[in-house]
């Protein structure tokens, strides 16, 4: 995989549309990467903000494609509804992603170097406001940038530590992709990194006994009898990668796959484990530290056999080397 990591860089064009008087304006591409918004915007004070993350994948035959972009559009709209923001029509979301990819063709990584062009769509509440209430004007922006891997350099296992902090409340906003969940994670992540871990693992906010998220990614484990298992909870972000892996484990690899509780005190049921997400792709987990003990998975510092197969299948589909299930791929016509 590439080694440019996951860092901001300005790329030539981004897409912007404004909601005013009940409708979205026709989106435009602009070279300006600075937003000019009112100092009292609810996005700045009350976190009225949500976002998505998806990637443009270059294929061997020179095409560009999106992976399950309709699902990102749907999830953005779920987040918008939760924060009382206007939804983005799915066709507008896909069109904006395509426009940003095509306008930035010169900086989209080539096939074969393991890099992709990460798109960051977001919606923010803007305009004059001071009371705790929703904005009446909104911006929908999509920008993009080349990225490599998020957690580690390539498909190499890393270790995580559980946090005493919660990233979301039991009936809060954990299942939507809103900025507040992420700013709440800066401190726990900083503490985990300071102690030599890649990030922290969040346990369920009610009982602190079940694994919920691995930093900004979902968790999965592979049991000793090769079952793919991933947690379920209403404070976990419904990861598109996770749902893809559930499907691929069953239908491409012939494994049993299920969503169920994953207890932190029963990690020994898994021989392999990983973090999955758009940015994280699949990041194998070497060890998890909790309270005063550390559990090392059997696969340890090498990539487990099932994790490797899942990775090869997922990434093969994303880059167009393996046939995708119907509806998963949107080709961007150049
Ligand atoms: N969990 C959190 C908290 C995330 O931020 C992400 C990233 O989007 C994921 C899980 C993975 O979701 P997806 O696979 O849709 O990118
Ligand atoms: C993603 O995987 O797209 C994410 O949003 C995770 C993180 C970079 C916020």
Q: In the structure encoding, which two tokens stand for residue 248, read together?
A: 């691929």
Residue 62 — φ and ψ, nearest 5°? 85, 10
Using a 6 Å cutoff on CB, does residue 278 contact ligand 2?
yes
Burial (CB count <10 Å: 0-12, 13-18, 19+), residue 322: middle
**In which band, very low, low, confident or very high, does the pLDDT at 326 lie, cut at 50, 70 and 90?**
very high
What is the Å distance from ligand 1's center to 278 Cα?
Answer: 6
Q: Which residues line ligand 1 (CB under 6 A)?
A: 53, 213, 216-218, 237, 239-242, 277-278
What is the rounded CA–CA span in Å between residue 169 and residue 180? 12
What percentage of the chain carries pLDDT values higher than 90? Answer: 96
**Average pLDDT value over all residues in the chain:** 97
H or E element: which one contains 320?
A: none
Q: Does domain 158-318 have CATH number 2.60.120.260?
A: no
Whole-number pLDDT of residue 334: 85
To test ligand 2's pocket by mutation, which of 75, 279, 318 has the most ligand atoms within 8 angstroms of CB? Answer: 279
Domain regions of the chain by residue span: 14-147, 158-318
What is the Å distance from ligand 2's center to 31 Cα?
Answer: 24
Q: Cβ neighbours of residue 20 under 8 Å, at least 6 residues apart? A: 137
Q: List 67's β-bridge partners, or say none.
A: 329
Ligand nearest to the CA of 237: 1
Query: Secondary structure of the chain in the HEC alphabet?
Result: CCCCCCCCCCCCCEEEEEEECCEECCCEEECCCCCCCCCCCHHHHCCCEEECCEEEEECCCCCEEEECHHHHHHHHHHHHHHCCCCCCCHHHHHHHHHHHHHHCHHHCCCCCCCCEEEEEEEEEEECCCCCCCCCCEEEEEEEEEEECCCCCCCCCCEEEEECCCCCCCCCCCCCCCEHHHHHCCHHHHHHHHHCCCCEEEEECCCCCCEEEEECCCEEEEEECCCCEEECCCCCCCCCHHHHHHHHHHHHCCCCCEEECCCEHHHHHHEEEEEEEECCCEEEEEEEEEECCEEEECCCCCCCCHHHHHHHHHHHHHHCCCCCCCCCCEEEECC
CB 279 within 8 A of CB 215: no
In this structure, the dihedral spanned by the alpha carbons of residues 195, 196, 201 and 202, taken in order and rounded to 10 degrees, is 20
Residue 155 pLDDT more than 90? no
Using a 6 Å cutoff on CB, does residue 216 contact ligand 2?
yes
What is the Å distance from ligand 1's center to 237 Cα?
Answer: 6
Q: What is the mean pLDDT of residues 220-242?
A: 97
Inter-CA distances, 46 with 37, 50, 178, Å: 15, 12, 11
Atom of ligand 1 nearest to the CA of 53: 8
Whole-number pLDDT of residue 8: 98
CA angle 11, 50, 324 (to 5 degrees): 70
pLDDT, tens digit, 9 for 90 and up, residues 181-190: 999 999 999 9
User: Of 331, 329, 319, which Cα lies nearest the Cα of 68?
Assistant: 329
Q: In the structure encoding, which two tokens stand for residue 297, read together?
A: 């998975």
Q: Using CA positions, which residue lies closest to atom 7 of ligand 2?
A: 216
**In which band, very low, low, confident or very high, does the pLDDT at 222 lie, cut at 50, 70 and 90?**
very high
Residue 33 pLDDT more than 80? yes
User: Of 274, 265, 199, which Cα lies nearest the Cα of 229?
Assistant: 274
Residue 130 pLDDT more than 50? yes
CB 124 within 8 A of CB 139: yes
DSSP 3-state of 240: helix
What is the rounded CA–CA span in Å between residue 66 and residue 317? 11
pTM for this model (two decimals): 0.97
pLDDT, tens digit, 9 for 90 and up, residues 243-259: 999 999 999 999 999 99
Q: In the structure encoding, which two tokens stand for residue 261, read together?
A: 């509780």
Residue 160 — φ and ψ, nearest 5°? -130, 160
pLDDT, tens digit, 9 for 90 and up, residues 23-32: 999 999 999 9
Q: Does domain 14-147 have CATH number 1.10.540.10?
A: no
Q: What is the mean pLDDT of residues 297-324?
A: 97
Q: Using CA positions, which residue lies closest to atom 9 of ligand 1?
A: 217
Q: Which of these ranges, 71-80, 144-153, 225-234, has the smallest mean pLDDT?
A: 144-153
Residue found by looking up tokens 């046939």 in the block? 323
Residue 2 pLDDT more than 70? no
Residue 1 pLDDT more than 60? no
């Amino acid at each position: 995989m590439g080694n440019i990591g996951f860092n901001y860089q300005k790329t030539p064009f981004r897409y912007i549309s404004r909601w005013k008087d009940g409708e979205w304006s026709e989106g435009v591409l602009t070279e300006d990467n600075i937003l000019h918004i009112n100092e009292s915007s609810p996005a700045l004070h009350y976190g009225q903000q949500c976002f998505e993350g998806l990637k443009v994948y270059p294929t061997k035959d020179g095409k560009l494609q999106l992976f399950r972009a309709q699902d990102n559009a749907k999830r953005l709209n779920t987040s918008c509804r939760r924060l009382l923001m206007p939804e983005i029509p799915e066709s507008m979301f896909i069109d904006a992603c395509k426009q940003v990819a095509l306008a930035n063709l010169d900086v989209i990584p080539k096939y074969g170097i393991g890099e992709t062009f990460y798109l960051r769509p977001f919606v923010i509440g803007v305009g004059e406001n001071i009371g705790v209430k929703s904005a009446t004007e909104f911006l929908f922006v999509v920008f993009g940038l080349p990225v490599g891997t998020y957690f580690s350099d390539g498909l190499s296992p890393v270790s995580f530590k559980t946090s005493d902090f919660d990233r979301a409340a039991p009936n809060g906003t954990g299942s939507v992709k809103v900025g507040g969940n992420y700013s709440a994670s800066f401190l726990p992540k900083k503490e985990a990194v300071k102690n030599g871990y890649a990030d922290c693992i969040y346990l369920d906010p009610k009982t602190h006994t079940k694994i919920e998220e691995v930093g900004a990614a979902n968790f999965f484990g592979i049991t000793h009898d090769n079952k793919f298992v991933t947690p379920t909870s209403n404070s976990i972000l419904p990861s598109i990668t996770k749902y893809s892996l559930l499907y691929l484990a069953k239908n491409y690899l012939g494994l049993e796959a299920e969503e169920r509780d994953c207890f932190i005190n029963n990690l020994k049921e898994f021989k392999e484990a990983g973090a999955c997400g758009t940015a994280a792709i699949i990041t194998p987990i070497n060890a998890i530290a909790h309270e005063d003990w550390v559990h090392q998975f059997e696969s340890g510092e090498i990539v487990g056999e099932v994790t490797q197969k899942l990775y090869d299948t997922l990434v093969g589909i994303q880059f167009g080397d393996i046939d995708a299930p119907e509806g998963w791929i949107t080709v961007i016509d150049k």
